[in-house]
Amino acid sequence: MISIHTPPRPSDLGDVRVANRAVVLRHVRLHAPCSRADIAAHTGLNKATVSSLVTELIDRRLLRETGLTENRVGRPATMLVLDGAPYAGLGLQIGADELVVVAVDLGGNRLLTWRRAFAAPAASAAETVQALAALARRAITRIGGQGRTVLGLAVGVPGLVDTDQAVPLAPALGWRDVPLADELRRALREPGFAVAVDTDANLAVLAEQRHGAYAGTADLIHLTGGVAVGAGLVSGGRLLRGGRGFAGEIGHVPLDPAGPVCACGRRGCLAALTGVDAVVRRLLPDAEQDGPVTDYLPELDRIQALARGGDDAVLAGLTDLGRQ
């Protein structure tokens, strides 16, 4: 940390510049089109610093100028917007019966979406990591073929994720103490970009807060439901993680001591009552006659069809689930 008591070291200055670049990019993302003077006025950075940072970001094709605006007091100003045409970010998600990869540009525009059928609850953590890496490599190759460079990769997990980006517990997947970020980096042979891991709920609420119908909302809750149930929390414009990174993990809040056994070992947890596997098991008693369900979409379609057809048992079950 730089202070009046600590002479700045080169690494300190480099870190400060990286942080300042992020501040400028974040401001432009939220307020584009905007001028250099706008950035300085709203971020607290001085004009010379902003000018230097903007020049660097334009050279890196992260920002671009869009011309002059005269709708302001004083001289016309050159306006800035995000560029990022040569870059992309990747997102991976582990679901109950599939793996998903999405690529987006810096503006949040989707470049590709691929899904691969994969029964993660029936696979080992090592097998899942290898499947994720294979899917990521395909996406990286496709993005590279478009002349873009991948800047980072994030993985959404239906389970607990600690501050070291490891998964201490994911009952829906049968995981315990899986260093997912480290394992995926190794599987990708230490790629030249950041690999991050978070809960699917945290990533979902950030996406909604930045690009969804509630973009810019300071306080937001996003609930996720699948084999795991969770909540992503934004408070005061910031993601709320909690001291150990487990804020929002509502799936294992016990609701019914006499309820079904949960994958975590307790009874009557929210996930054991309302997770997609629990819903299918309750409303379609015959679903597992031929073995464990590995593709939930057909079963959910069956439930929907039965409900629309007025099936009394299904309607009663859905009503009870709604109360929980």
**Sequence ranges of the domains in the chain:** 10-82, 87-211, 222-323
187, 130 contact by CB (below 8 A): yes
Work out the pLDDT band at 30, boundaries 50, 70, 90: confident
pTM for the complete prediction? 0.79
- How far, in whole angstroms, is CA 98 from its chain's centroid? 16
158, 180 contact by CB (below 8 A): no
Average pLDDT of span 251-262: 89
Same fold, 87-211 and 222-323: yes
> Would you state the pLDDT for residue 301?
93
> Would you state the pLDDT for residue 12?
56
> Would you state the pLDDT for residue 98?
92
Q: Convert the pLDDT of each residue in 264-288 to its tens digit.
A: 888 999 988 998 888 998 999 888 8
| 64/51 Cα distance (integer angstroms) | 13
Can you name the residues that pair with 169 across neighbouring β-strands? 160, 176
**Residue 8 above 70 pLDDT?**
no
- Tell me the CATH number of domain 222-323, given options 3.90.1010.10, 3.30.420.40, 3.40.50.150, 3.30.565.10: 3.30.420.40
246, 168 contact by CB (below 8 A): no
> Would you state the pLDDT for residue 74?
62
CA 162, 89, 206, 225 dihedral sign is negative
- 257 CB neighbour count, 10 Å cutoff: 8
Range 10-82 has CATH code 1.10.10.10: yes
Average pLDDT of the chain? Answer: 88
Bridge-based pairing state of the strands 194-199 and 149-157: parallel
Closest CA relative to residue 238, chosen from 209, 199, 196: 209
268, 255 contact by CB (below 8 A): yes
Q: What is 155-203 written as a DSSP string?
A: EEESSB--TTS-EEEETTTTEEEE-HHHHHHHHTTS-SSEEEEEEHHHH
| 182/178 Cα distance (integer angstroms) | 9
Which value, to the nearest 10 degrees, does the dihedral of the CA atoms of residues 254, 256, 259, 260 take? -20
Closest CA relative to residue 241, chosen from 208, 271, 212, 198: 198
Range 87-211 has CATH code 3.30.420.40: yes
Work out the pLDDT band at 1, boundaries 50, 70, 90: very low
